[in-house]
Amino acid sequence: MSEGQHRTVSAVHGRRPIEPDPPFEVGLAAHLKTTLGPAGVAELYGRFAQGEGAFDALMRRVALRALAREVGDGVQVHRSVLFRHPETFSIGGGVFIGEQTMIQGRFDGRCVIGDHVWIGPQSYFDARDLVIEDHVGWGPGAKVLGSAHTGVPIDVPLIQTDLVIKPVRIGMGADIGMNAVILPGVSVGRGAIVGAGAVVTHDVAPFSVVAGVPARVIRQRE
C-alpha cells in the first residue's frame, strides 16, 4: 500500500463502556443453574450455540453465566464457541469471544479472563492454568498451550506419559497476533506485542515486540 492510502480510525471494543446486564438475565442464569444443573445448562447452551439472532446471543451468555464460576457484564459469546469445564472460568466484563473459539479447561484448573479482552475467531486455549489480564487483544486463530507430556519413560507411547501443567500469564494490554502460539509456562508482559504466526517459547518482557519461530525480540515499544 502506497503512502497516503492508509487510514486511522477510533478503537471500538477497548473503549466501549461496560453496561450492566439486565436483572432478569442475571436472575434467569441463577434459576437455570439451580433447576437444570450443569448438564442441563450445557444442553441448553447447545441449542443456541449456532444461532445468529439477538436472542441466541443472549441465551449463550445466560448459559455461560450459569455454568462459570464468575461472568461479568456485557460478555459477547459468538457462534460455535465451545467450553470445557467452564465451572473453572472467571470471565470479566466486556469480553468478546469470537466464533469457533474453544476454551479447554480442566476440572481442577483455573481460567481467568480480565475485563475488555477481545478474542478473535477460531482461537484455542488450553486453559488448565491460564490468566489473561485486562485489555488484552487475542488475534484470530492464536493458541495457548498449557500442558505437555513428559515423554518419560521413553519406551511407552508419548500420549501415555504424565502431563505437566505449566501456568501461562498474559499481561495487561498485551496483544497476541493472528495464529501465534504461546507455549506452556510462558508469561507475556504488560503491553507486549507478539507478532502474527510467532511461536513463543520463553517469557516476553513488558512493552517488547517479538516475532518469528521461535519468537525473538525485534524491538522495544517506546
For the stretch 172-211, pLDDT in tens is 999 999 999 999 999 999 999 999 999 999 999 999 999 9
**Sheet order of strands, 181-182 included:** 82-84, 102-104, 124-126, 143-144, 181-182, 199-200
Confidence of residue 132 (pLDDT cuts 50, 70, 90): very high
Give the integer Cα–Cα distance in Å for 170 and 79: 25
Going from the C-alpha of 70 to that of each of 6, 42, 106, 128, 175, the distances in angstroms are 41, 16, 16, 16, 24
Residue 215 phi, psi dihedral angles, 5° rounding: -65, 140
Q: Chain-wide mean pLDDT for the chain?
A: 96
Specify whether the CB–CB gap between 149 and 111 falls below 8 A. no
For the stretch 57-66, pLDDT in tens is 999 999 999 9
Give the integer Cα–Cα distance in Å for 1 and 21: 42
Give the CATH number of domain 73-220; options: 2.60.40.10, 3.10.20.30, 3.20.20.70, 2.160.10.10. Answer: 2.160.10.10
Specify whether the CB–CB gap between 115 and 93 falls below 8 A. yes
For the stretch 97-113, pLDDT in tens is 999 999 999 999 999 99
**Sheet order of strands, 137-138 included:** 76-77, 96-97, 118-119, 137-138, 175-176, 193-194, 208-211, 216-220
- Residue 58 burial by Cβ neighbours in a 10 Å radius (0-12, 13-18, 19+): middle
Give the integer Cα–Cα distance in Å for 141 and 2: 28
- In this prediction the pTM is 0.94
User: Cell 446486564 sits at which residue?
Assistant: 21
Domain assignments of the chain as residue spans, ordered by start? 21-67, 73-220
